[in-house]
Structure 1
Amino acid sequence: MVKSALHKKVAITGANGFIGSTALKKLKAHGLNVRPIFHNQLPDDATDYDYICCDISNNASINGVFNDIDTILHLANYVGNDESLAQKVNVQGSQNIVEEARRAGVRRIIYVSNASVYEGPTHKGIKESEVACKPESLTSITKLQAEHTILEFEESAILRPLFIYGTGDKWFIPSIATFCKAGLPPINEGKALLSVISIDTLADYLLRLIQCPDSTDGIFHVSEPPVELKKVIQYCENKLALEGSNSTIDLESAYEKLTKYGVRKHQLELIASDHYYNCDRINNLLQWAPENTFDSAIDKYSNWYEKVFAN
């Protein structure tokens, strides 16, 4: 008899990270048998789980970690500018996971990458196979390398969100808030449509993929309905009690003003023009699509962003 998804054990790497912590709670709340994999920091509720501490970049450290595991949610990653760490965690760590998964007889690996791996200044509803990959940031470059490794596994799914918001977000909304604090008016009138997804909706996708009885092999876009940049700016301005600007600025001028904040041009390109993606492939597979929109979901995370903005 084939076990149901409730009885198959799921391992989560990066279980105390931005995505992993929410996914862990979501899967547990739905009765799944979960084994969180922590690195060196344990959450307060760690003893509620059959957890393991290890270093995925060390092959010997993960020996036996995936014994009796059906599915691995690979959510551990390094985001930053340290090339050595990016290679160690994102690339070597993923290679180690694939090798140990094969040895342990794991059935499937699900990995969360990012849509910033694509080339091109503008993406309007593209499908997964319509644009070549040409990542620019260190994180995206090493995530794409990790994708290639994981896709060699017998059954693997790669999820590509673009901007993720919600509790734990230190990059998307906080970056927009930084632009607002710098007095930067909306780039190109803030008309760019952006693929965004809340951390809870992303966890819903992961849960449904695990429960899906069909093959989940391949690359998938995941997103809520796209939102205009100006709506994200308005949210930040309201939370920061800033007066909105009626003017606009072009990409080059914005980059010139923000270089002192360490902002890269590619970061601005992602919000200066349309970057939204077709999610039909995964939504048709799961026979489900998220009902949340940025407008309906963002207030749920106000407490988090108020703390972030206060710093």
Structure 2
Amino acid sequence: MSAPGGNWGFRTGVNDFWGEDHGRKTIGKTILVTGGTGFIGGAALRALADSEPGTNIRVLSRQPLPESLRTGEVLHVHGDLTDPSSLRGVCEGVSTVLHLASHVGRDPELCDVVNRHGTTALLADARRHGVSRVAYMSTTAVYGHGVHRGLTETGVNPLPVSPASRSRLFAEQAVRGFGGIVLRPHLVYGVGDVWFIPTLLRLLNRVPSWIQDGAARVSVVCVDMLGEVLSGLTRIPWRGGETYHVSHPRSTSFRSIVRTVCSTLRLDLPSRSLPVAEHREISRGMMPELTDHQHELLASDHWYDSSRIWRKVRQCPGPGFSSRFARAADWYRDLLPIG
């Protein structure tokens, strides 16, 4: 949830970086990453390091970088999204900002401080230093309640229901107004995931039943593929003010997800199926921390048209959940037993 500051003695303007034909790199680039020590940010840093050796990467965070991130191409910049004064100067010399830090808890004040005011302060520094390329990682949670089937980025007006998603929608609006772009993944899995699959595992442990036979279809994306998309965006021009869904283009059923998870982790499959309402009533008692909205995400269709982003970055999304999940099996296995 944090981000950083510093003062640098050089500058790379966006026009110099792209050159006149907007496709040819003319000088080295510097990328500022907020949230680089987190789940998605870490994947972005790995992808950047793999695809663009020699790129200058600044990671904005309150704490020193973990040993795994301390390389010659990664520079720690101290700062905090809760302290706007610490963000002054962090964008000097930067060609692209990947703003991947958010507070996703339930404290409204902290959500506003980090997501609203922190983003505003970061954009102000980007403006001061002539940085126009800012990409913000948001979430499909900004759409709020409802069944979503093949939803496009303009298919429905966002109606967020939580402090986190409301403040992230504000950050979206600020970024688009600035001329940046917004990315909205749905459910993200992979090494480092502490919400999607762990929540599903806890639910299966406490309420070992299918929800409506596991028929709900959802959009998912592997965090490593999300990192590749972010890395790809740093290498191409973009038009500001746009929003992109970022999930695998093929939706998958929760029945398929649960079967893959249980098979890989050698867990028993649910032995019965419950209607959505009955399952929710039982889960309220067995897992009170699960919100109505979170249960809805596991019980009803939530899949999104993500075709535009793959065309944009000219990448192949590769295999889906059933093939990729095994790569994170050790991570999830270490989280067992789920209490």
TM-score in terms of structure 2 length: 0.86
Counterpart residue identity of residue 96, structure 1: A
| Cα offsets for 1:115-147 (capped at 9, x unmatched) | 111144211111100111111122211111111
Residue number in structure 1 paired with 2:4: none
Q: How does 1:1-311 map to 2 (within 5 A)?
A: 2-3=16-17, 4=25, 7-30=28-51, 31=53, 32-48=55-71, 49-153=74-178, 155-215=179-239, 217-224=241-248, 225-238=250-263, 241-260=266-285, 261=287, 262-310=289-337
- Checking the alignment, whether the CA contact within 8 Å between 1:10 and 1:34 is kept in structure 2 is yes
Look up the SS of the partner of 2:336 in the other structure: helix
Distance in structure 2 (CA, Å) of the matches to 1:77 and 1:114: 10
Moved more, 197-206 or 287-296: 287-296
Look up the SS of the partner of 1:175 in the other structure: helix
Taking only the aligned residue pairs, the percentage that are identical comes to: 30
How far the C-alpha of 1:29 sits from its partner, in A, is 1.8
- Checking the alignment, whether the CA contact within 8 Å between 1:119 and 1:132 is kept in structure 2 is no
User: Residues 198 and 207 (structure 1 numbering): CA distance in 2 closer, same or farther, change over 3 Å?
Assistant: same
- Checking the alignment, whether the CA contact within 8 Å between 1:114 and 1:140 is kept in structure 2 is yes
| Cα offsets for 1:149-201 (capped at 9, x unmatched) | 11111x31101010000011000000110111013311111011110000001
- Checking the alignment, whether the CA contact within 8 Å between 1:184 and 1:254 is kept in structure 2 is no
- Checking the alignment, whether the CA contact within 8 Å between 2:96 and 2:234 is kept in structure 1 is yes
Distance in structure 2 (CA, Å) of the matches to 1:242 and 1:295: 16
Counterpart residue identity of residue 329, structure 2: S
Residue number in structure 1 paired with 2:8: none
How far the C-alpha of 1:33 sits from its partner, in A, is 2.3
Distance in structure 1 (CA, Å) of the matches to 2:26 and 2:226: 18
Counterpart residue identity of residue 200, structure 1: D
| Cα offsets for 1:86-125 (capped at 9, x unmatched) | 1111111111111111011112110110011114421111
- Checking the alignment, whether the CA contact within 8 Å between 2:212 and 2:276 is kept in structure 1 is yes
Distance in structure 1 (CA, Å) of the matches to 2:96 and 2:293: 34
Distance in structure 1 (CA, Å) of the matches to 2:198 and 2:108: 23
- Checking the alignment, whether the CA contact within 8 Å between 1:251 and 1:268 is kept in structure 2 is no
| Cα offsets for 1:62-102 (capped at 9, x unmatched) | 11111000110001111212222211111111111111110
Name the count of aligned residue pairs.
Answer: 310
Distance in structure 1 (CA, Å) of the matches to 2:308 and 2:190: 25
Counterpart residue identity of residue 25, structure 1: R
User: Residues 46 and 240 (structure 1 numbering): CA distance in 2 closer, same or farther, change over 3 Å?
Assistant: closer
How far the C-alpha of 1:215 sits from its partner, in A, is 2.7
How far the C-alpha of 1:302 sits from its partner, in A, is 0.6
User: Residues 303 and 240 (structure 1 numbering): CA distance in 2 closer, same or farther, change over 3 Å?
Assistant: closer
Unaligned 5+ runs, structure 2: 1-14, 18-24
How far the C-alpha of 1:45 sits from its partner, in A, is 3.4
TM-score in terms of structure 1 length: 0.94
- Checking the alignment, whether the CA contact within 8 Å between 2:217 and 2:302 is kept in structure 1 is yes
How far the C-alpha of 1:288 sits from its partner, in A, is 2.8
Look up the SS of the partner of 1:266 in the other structure: helix
Counterpart residue identity of residue 36, structure 2: A
Counterpart residue identity of residue 58, structure 2: R
Distance in structure 2 (CA, Å) of the matches to 1:96 and 1:120: 30
How far the C-alpha of 1:6 sits from its partner, in A, is 7.5
